[in-house]
Amino acid sequence: MTIMIAYTTCNGPSSMFTGLDGRFMRRDVATTAVNMTYSYPTYDILMVLGDSNTQFANDPAKNGFVAQLAEFYQRQMDVLNRGFRGYNTSSAREIIGSVLPKTSVAQDSTTTDDISPLFKFAKKLKLTTRADEITKALWPYQKQNYPGISNILQLIIILFGTNDSRVEWSEAYNPIDQYAEDLQYFITLLQDPDSEHYSPDARIMIITPPVVGDRKVQELAKSRNTEPEWYNNRTQTYAAKAIEVAQAANVAYVDLHTGMEDVVAEYRKNISSTDVLDGYDNYLIDGIHLNVNGSAILFGLIHDTIAKNWPEMIPLKS
């Protein structure tokens, strides 16, 4: 992080005048800007990349799944929310270079020694002084840690498709083949050794878009004197495509769409109405965005997928 600091030098007697902020200034004061760069110790990184269902997921009032992940991984990993409201995969592709970490050389041991209590603890135990080997020895996810040993991307969760699957006349619409190509592009950036974002340690998880509550979407569109932009059957097609991409790339995935459909079907068994659209409102705020119940479903599915694919990443709280 770079911080601009201004300092002043005085060149002799002068009168005072009032600056724009109301403070008294000296007329003969020369102001010089200095760039100072600070490096802050961090934990390893869990990044969540997506659209508004990710951006809004930091809200604890909504039981946001990113907020739940941050609590779940406290003192194990720093959870970064990189959700962008209104984005589809193609618009995200335009900014992805500013979002994903750049490949860099591992920390030198002297630097790590200066910033990390855990590094000093390792030296007490007479472990190796190489930062990468200490990381391997003392960076188990199951235990609480100190920041500073490492800050590599360990897991990235990618959730797009709700905007991509909007109707063709919508500005956010993205053809399904382009959607698939963009998802594969994100994966390649992380897995290709020639990529400046190459992250060999990064585990990748693709999440399908959630269900759409058609009735609520139609009601809101009518109230705004417009036509609906989302339909559940369209989103279901994109969900299937996301799974197809994940399977072809051999990365983990969460079928959120089917998971929510199953829960809605079960919920519908316990209500008296025969309206087939009933049930979605119990898990979505506006037919599109996850509410408290929908967020709980997603977090549970993410947890189960991590436990199945990478059991070492399930923390043991102390």
Q: What are the phi and psi torsion angles at 156 (to 5°)?
A: -125, 130
Contacts of 27 (CB under 8 A, 6+ apart): 14, 15, 16, 17
Q: What average pLDDT does the segment 167-183 reach? A: 97
Instruction: Select the more confidently predicted residue: 309 or 24.
Output: 309
pLDDT at 39: 63
Q: What are the phi and psi torsion angles at 206 (to 5°)?
A: -100, 135
Q: Where are the beta strands (DSSP E) in 99-160?
A: 153-159
Q: What average pLDDT does the segment 270-288 reach? A: 80
User: Is residue 189 exposed (0-12), middle (13-18) or buried (19+ Cβ within 10 Å)?
Assistant: middle
Instruction: Write down the mean pLDDT value for the chain.
Output: 80
pLDDT at 100: 93
pLDDT per residue over 114-154, tens digit each?
A: 434 444 444 444 443 344 444 444 444 445 555 655 578 99
Three-state DSSP state, 104: coil
Do 79 and 49 touch, CB atoms closer than 8 A?
Answer: no
pLDDT per residue over 199-253, tens digit each?
A: 998 999 999 999 999 999 999 999 999 999 999 999 999 999 999 999 999 999 9
Helix (H) or strand (E) holding 259: helix 256-269
For residue 9, the cross-strand partners are 30
pLDDT per residue over 83-123, tens digit each?
A: 999 999 999 999 999 999 887 543 333 333 343 444 444 44
Is the pLDDT at 27 greater than 70? The verdict is: no
Q: What are the phi and psi torsion angles at 114 (to 5°)?
A: -70, -35
Q: What is the dihedral of CA 181, 186, 187, 188, to 10 degrees?
A: 80
pLDDT per residue over 289-316, tens digit each?
A: 999 999 999 999 999 999 999 998 998 7
Is the pLDDT at 8 greater than 70? The verdict is: no
pLDDT at 316: 75
Sign of the C-alpha dihedral computed for residues 55, 174, 214 and 302 taken in this order: negative
pLDDT at 144: 55
Crossing angle between the packed helical segments 232-249 and 256-269, to the nearest 10 degrees: 140
d(CA 147, CA 138): 12
- Portion of the chain with pLDDT greater than 90, in percent: 61
Residue 57 CA to chain centroid, in angstroms?
A: 9
pLDDT at 36: 63
CB-based contacts of 126-132 (< 8 A; 24+ apart in sequence): 131/106, 131/107, 132/106
Q: What average pLDDT does the segment 160-186 reach? A: 98
Question: Alpha-carbon Rg of the chain, whole angstroms?
Answer: 24
